[in-house]
């Protein structure tokens, strides 16, 4: 997504989900330095039915104003479920913001190939929807400034 603002203006928003993520309910830091590599925090969000979901997010890579990578994990098991990779690339007009999400869910043992392909396509569709929603949320938050 092309933005007509400098990466320095976008960077703080990546940490302040309340500004751009309508489902965001709260963050509780567990350990590690705040907003730095090693920070682990509980993130709570509300789905469309009103149900609360909490997961662990851990910052595993941080290059200020350029890249931020989170490891997402299940609350009870601390098993990694996904990685979210935010990248800011300077341009002459501002910057480009990119988000990639990588899921680690595996098919159930014994699933037939057709069901595996259907599951994979549902992940692709859902992931694209999440990415587009997050990028639009950031764009809207920038427009408020």
C-alpha separations of 142 from 14, 68, 72, 89, 96 in Å: 11, 18, 25, 16, 13
Query: Quick one: pLDDT at residue 66?
Result: 97
- Pair 68, 14: CB distance under 8 Å: yes
| pLDDT above 80: residue 142 | yes
Backbone torsion region of residue 102, taken as left when φ is above 0, otherwise alpha when ψ lies between -120 and 50, otherwise beta: beta
Q: Which has the closest alpha carbon to 66: 99, 89, 94?
A: 89
Let me know: does 72 contact 86? Beta carbons within 8 Å.
Answer: no
pLDDT of 117 > 90? The answer is no
| Span 43-83, pLDDT tens digits | 999 988 999 999 999 999 999 999 999 999 988 877 898 99
Residue 109 confidence class, pLDDT cut points 50, 70, 90: confident
The count of structural domains within the chain is 1
Cα–Cα distance, 120 to 35 (Å, whole number): 32
Residue 56 · residue 75 · CB < 8 Å: yes
Given a contact cutoff of 8 angstroms between Cβ atoms, the answer to whether 54 and 31 are in contact is no
pLDDT of res. 97: 97
The CATH number of residue 115's host domain is: 3.30.530.20
Domain hosting residue 127, numbered range: 2-144
Tell me the C-alpha distance between 82 and 53, whole Å.
15
């Amino acid at each position: 997504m092309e933005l007509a603002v400098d990466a320095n203006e976008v960077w703080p928003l990546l940490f302040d989900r309340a500004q751009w993520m309508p489902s965001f309910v709260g963050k509780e830091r567990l350990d590690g330095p705040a907003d730095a590599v090693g920070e682990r925090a509980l993130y709570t969000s509300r789905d469309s039915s009103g149900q609360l979901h909490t997961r662990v997010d851990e910052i595993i890579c941080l290059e200020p104003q350029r890249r931020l990578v989170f490891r997402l994990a299940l609350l009870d098991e601390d098993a990694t479920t996904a990685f979210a990779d935010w990248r800011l690339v300077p341009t002459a007009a501002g910057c480009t913001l990119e988000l990639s999400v990588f899921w680690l869910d595996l098919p159930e043992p014994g699933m037939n190939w057709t069901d595996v392909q259907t599951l994979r396509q549902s992940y692709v569709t859902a992931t694209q929807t999440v990415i587009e929603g997050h990028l639009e949320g950031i764009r809207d938050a920038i427009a408020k400034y």
